[in-house]
Structure 1
Amino acid sequence: MGYYLRLLGRGAVPWLLLASLTGWGWLLGSTAMLSVPVFCGSVPLAGYALGWRGIEQVLLFNPPLRLLLAWWLMLLAMTPLLLVQPLTYVWRRSLRRKRWQAVVLFVLGYVTVWTLSGLLLLSLLVLAQVWLGLSTTQSLMAALLLCLLWQASPLKQRCLNHCHVQPRISAFGLDFIVDCLRFGLSAGAWCVGSCWPLMLLPMLTSQGHVTLMLLCMLWMLYERWQRPRLVRWYWPLALRWRP
């Protein structure tokens, strides 16, 4: 954690903090972009409509482009500060005249992975609530249980460990472009593997949506500040007994 505190006031931190605050401000202050909470409360409940007709009703009230914009807004608010370490590495490993190009390539790869993952998560959410006939409460309880299991699993820890990997970045030519883009794609993929249940939870709540988003973001930051650990089961809420 001390590493991140030393970065405050310089490097990528001010830009990422500004991006995150912009996302939160846009979410709280713009009625046009409050489509994420609208989505959370507008999926038909069990018994309203099942099958393809139910999905058509969801898409009628929540156009795909609107859902995608809402997902990007969530990303803008919740994920920038997760990129302090990788973007600082990209910035320092690039030539001065190529730094912004490296940052743009990395962010492009990172956002691409999260966008595709968001489309998958939103699709699964719609299918669960419409085809399986789950109510919002049932979906939230199922997602919470899934989140707790995933948080404790070895796969979660493996993904979290890989979030700290810093690959080689070439200085020139096509290799430079490929390395920066590949780093963004891999960082996005491991970040999705680590954080996807925490991104899913706020989409299932209409009351306290923004508060839950903030809590999930703070937990993701706390996890990212931790050092890599052995890949095994970790129960976050388990008390350690000491003789």
Structure 2
Amino acid sequence: MGAYLIQAVTRGFLPWLILISLAGWGLLLGSVQMLSIPAFCGAFVPLAYAASWQGIEQALLFNPPRQLVVSWLSMLLAMTPLLLVHPLTYVWQRSLLRKRWQAVVLFVLGFTSVWTLTGLLLMTLVVAARVMFGVSQAMAFIVTLAVCLVWQASPLKQRYLNRCHHQPRISAFGWGFIKDCLAYGVVSAGWCVGSCWALMLLPMLAEQGHVPLMLLSMGWMLWERFKRPRPARWHWPRLFR
């Protein structure tokens, strides 16, 4: 892992990705804002009502879509850049000299598009959870924490994580080059979403300690991403192993 990071620094990606991540954290710290709970919420709101047009309308009134999108993009900018050290280095090395920046842009475009769409889904789940659980927000967090712990230990999670290390063939010229770079970004994001969705969702549902939880989640994602692939089976992740 150390050799790979040194190589990334040599290629110039790591410093830029760190700066981009820091910029994302700056945006988040400058506008930290938890999702608002609509006034109709009580101790518990029936699912049918939360999913009704009136429930959705009330939730969107307190949480405008533009605000949700900006919050998600800031979170994405803060937490995901350092996950791209390996794939960006790969597309850089596998592309012709005059096409390297095109390859990087195409990869990032594909990666970002998938995570942006995922954010819309996760934000919808967060708003729905806040509407349903009303003032009992701790319950939503506890349920999500339990789901996250089970997912982290599951074989499917490990399969997704292993696939994050996949490095496909990239054509040198023409439409094949464009398609391969863009597809690599899309596919990498898909495996990344499958691996990280629970860790991204957890801080979004926290009433207190939103930013520290984001830092812990990002640190955990980086730690497990730089580990070698391992057999997909049930196991509880350990820091020192």
TM-score normalised by L of structure 1: 0.89
User: In 1, distance between residues paired with 2:166 and 2:237?
Assistant: 23
The aligned counterpart of 1:2 is 2
CA RMSD of aligned residues (A): 2.1
User: In 1, distance between residues paired with 2:233 and 2:100?
Assistant: 37
* 1:136 to 2:137 alignment: yes
Say if 1:146 and 1:219 are closer, same or farther in 2 by CA, change over 3 A: same
Counterpart of 2:228 in 1: which secondary structure?
coil
One-letter amino acid of the counterpart of residue 155, structure 2: P
* 1:98 to 2:94 alignment: no
Q: Tell whether the 8 Å contact from 2:122 to 2:201 is kept in structure 1 after alignment.
A: yes
The Cα shift of 1:206 comes to 3.0
Map 1:36-185 onto structure 2 (within 5 A).
37-39=33-35, 42-44=36-38, 45-47=41-43, 50-51=49-50, 52=52, 53-131=54-132, 135-185=136-186
Counterpart of 1:38 in 2: which secondary structure?
coil
| Residue identity (%) | 61
One-letter amino acid of the counterpart of residue 142, structure 2: M
* 1:186 to 2:182 alignment: no
Counterpart of 2:34 in 1: which secondary structure?
helix
User: In 2, distance between residues paired with 1:74 and 1:170?
Assistant: 33
The Cα shift of 1:100 comes to 1.0
User: In 1, distance between residues paired with 2:3 and 2:162?
Assistant: 17
Per-residue CA deviations over 1:66-101 (Å, capped at 9, x if unaligned) read: 101110100100000000000000111111111111
Say if 1:4 and 1:26 are closer, same or farther in 2 by CA, change over 3 A: farther
User: In 2, distance between residues paired with 1:234 and 1:48?
Assistant: 34
Query: Which range moves more in the overlay, 190-199 or 7-16?
Result: 7-16
Unaligned runs of 5+ in 1: none
Unaligned runs of 5+ in 2: none
One-letter amino acid of the counterpart of residue 10, structure 1: T
Counterpart of 2:207 in 1: which secondary structure?
coil
The Cα shift of 1:132 comes to 6.1
One-letter amino acid of the counterpart of residue 110, structure 1: F
Q: Tell whether the 8 Å contact from 1:7 to 1:13 is kept in structure 2 after alignment.
A: no
One-letter amino acid of the counterpart of residue 170, structure 2: I
The Cα shift of 1:182 comes to 0.3
The aligned counterpart of 2:203 is 202
Q: Tell whether the 8 Å contact from 2:137 to 2:207 is kept in structure 1 after alignment.
A: no
Say if 1:160 and 1:239 are closer, same or farther in 2 by CA, change over 3 A: closer
Per-residue CA deviations over 1:53-78 (Å, capped at 9, x if unaligned) read: 33222211211111011101001000
One-letter amino acid of the counterpart of residue 105, structure 2: V
The Cα shift of 1:4 comes to 3.6
The aligned counterpart of 2:214 is 213
TM-score normalised by L of structure 2: 0.90
